[in-house]
Structure 1
């Protein structure tokens, strides 16, 4: 993992330099040593992987979703026929390059064993998210058993289309917290004409599909395989990364952050700036014009002497109320004659 002096942990309690975290990386098969490279145009990928390759098709889907498409995407290669230490599977390659600068993971394989192995890596790391397209209901049922919080899957029966990857390309780079992943439009994806019963079966599995609602072609829901909402996990990661970065920058920018109440206040103010940005991005709720978050600190006098000697400050914490989103609106009407 990258070197750092700051760790941030968030527990989600229901009821009660900013990093965007929107860049995707594609796991793709290619002969030779495993590598990580960035690309901005599908044509660059076609030159390496071939015009008819799955990698090129997914890259085109990702990068051609309109104005909100990512400027660049990463590609992590693996070699299924490797005879040396080169990763032979997508999951092994992901593990090797996990600390590169990307957030969303997609892959050129939809085999259940591969999808599970990739999901296991992402879940084990506790950061980033994996998106996959599922084409068979039995595969969907198999994956749902694992309740992955960091994997979301889109069910799609039109051959050669990558709906989850289009979803990431069209909306993953938007400001974290500013969107819900439900009801999102996609470019180049065929809406599925499923019955209400089949759509219910898909959503019971905590998956979603691309359907027509009131004349608009949109994603039916926005959940991970655990049943948590994608934007909740994305928001949590944004706060972890940016909270840690803000405090780390203070430790680097200042010749010294003294172990005094003034130094403690400096660290708290850095965290406050991140939480205010979370409010601005509709990540954190507001009640009566007051942001629903709190920062807690322990004074120097309240800190542990052993911690002071080791130069470790454990007294900084925060809580917040998630803004959430409205997905369904039951309306009662009355007709008066």
Structure 2
């Protein structure tokens, strides 16, 4: 095997032997996420792509010039271009050593997307106690956080296009650095509702702020003081656990202070389909596990898992086979793959179990070749596959009836 640095190619020395051992190092795969977090950070100045400049250098020891309004670093982590927010899409060795996993500039909108592997890496571009750093700090304080966090810098009026460009990157949950409920937040909620494959988590200490979001399946409301990043902790503590295996109620959030609530206050947030954080039985816990529509997050997260994995497995089926014949043999292969995905979903707890059979309550239906239209056959399109399943539920409250036997005879 030849290794190359610069212009020199150096092949490995040949050992005089009849046995040649070739070793391959297998690295863990990144957590491609249905639980990864994106931090949405509004900036005043668009990012540009550095031209004829070396890849960005991560100078963790150097001076960081900070935009105090936005908490955006304009020193370390960018290209050597002396003015403006100019960045390279290529990572340098220093960037990688600092824990920066990815950087991409959208030249059309001025948006900048980056992924970091830990809090120290975030601090390269967003110094300690800036809004982004505080969110990341709360996220990485949770025991179940992912192996990365993403940050999207976007410019005023460019949120929709910026999200569109990075929608299919490695994240599923999003929060804002600024917990103010404004036009950007309303727009974002509608974007998430339209796509139905990501979640927006909002946090406010004012319950009335959530009124306009009632009915939104993919927007989650948290009532808590904005002095603490409960939104980041909420995602970090729960989202990366195996989908289907966890409900979002009863969970402890590290570094978040439980609120003291009256019975009436707790009833108010639950009736509003908002989630609080309080002590119950001497332990802190999230008060519920639903989105602002009242639908439960674990059920919606399961739907996203099924949709994502069904698409991925069927795509691999087409790619890994030289040919899927357009006849009943090929249709059976497609149907078998759909059953395979739903079986995994059942084993993970996304799909309910039939009490009589002990199997998952799901069904895959595939219509035979003879029922496909001439037009579909001509276009090599098969549209006869469908499935249904019953979502698994969870116990959130209990009512227990007891009887006490007394020896006292009452007159």
Normalised by the shorter chain, which TM-score bucket? 0.7 to 0.9
Checking the alignment, whether the CA contact within 8 Å between 1:62 and 1:168 is kept in structure 2 is yes
Which piece of structure 1 moves more, 279-288 or 239-248? 279-288
Residue 70 in structure 1 maps to residue 146 in structure 2? yes
**Superposed CA offset, 1:157-211 (max 9, x none):** 3x41021221101110011111110111110000000101011111111101001
| Structure of greater Rg | 2
Q: 1:247 aligns with which of 314, 330, 353?
A: 314
TM-score, normalised to structure 2, is 0.72
CA distance change for structure 1 residues 331 and 89 in 2, over 3 Å: closer, same or farther?
Answer: farther
Distance 2:302 2:382 in 1: 25
- How far off is 1:123 after superposition? 1.3
Residue 116 in structure 1 maps to residue 186 in structure 2? yes
**More helix, by proportion:** 1
Distance 2:46 2:287 in 1: 40
CA distance change for structure 1 residues 304 and 19 in 2, over 3 Å: closer, same or farther?
Answer: farther
Aligned to 2:75: none
Which piece of structure 1 moves more, 220-229 or 123-132? 123-132
- How far off is 1:96 after superposition? 3.0
Q: CA RMSD in A?
A: 1.7
Q: 1:151 aligns with which of 219, 240, 243?
A: 219
Which piece of structure 1 moves more, 196-205 or 132-141? 132-141
Q: 1:36 aligns with which of 108, 113, 117?
A: 113
Aligned to 2:332: 265
- How far off is 1:29 after superposition? 3.0
Aligned to 2:374: 305
Aligned to 1:79: 155
Matches within 5 A, 1:273-312: 273-287=340-354, 288-312=357-381
Q: 1:233 aligns with which of 300, 321, 339?
A: 300
Aligned to 2:231: 164
Query: Please, which runs of 5 or more residues in structure 2 have no aligned partner?
Result: 1-28, 48-110, 407-411
Which piece of structure 1 moves more, 54-63 or 98-107? 98-107
**Superposed CA offset, 1:211-247 (max 9, x none):** 1111110000011111100111111011011001111
Q: 1:125 aligns with which of 175, 189, 195?
A: 195
Distance 1:117 1:91 in 2: 8
Distance 1:46 1:298 in 2: 55
Which structure has the higher relative contact order (CA within 8 Å, separation 6+)?
1
Distance 1:96 1:175 in 2: 27
- How far off is 1:143 after superposition? 3.2
- How far off is 1:95 after superposition? 2.9
Query: Please, which runs of 5 or more residues in structure 1 have no aligned partner?
Result: 1-16, 81-87
Aligned residues: 310
Distance 2:195 2:388 in 1: 23
Aligned to 2:65: none
Checking the alignment, whether the CA contact within 8 Å between 2:172 and 2:199 is kept in structure 1 is yes
Distance 1:301 1:324 in 2: 39
Distance 2:342 2:334 in 1: 13
Aligned to 1:3: none
TM-score, normalised to structure 1, is 0.88
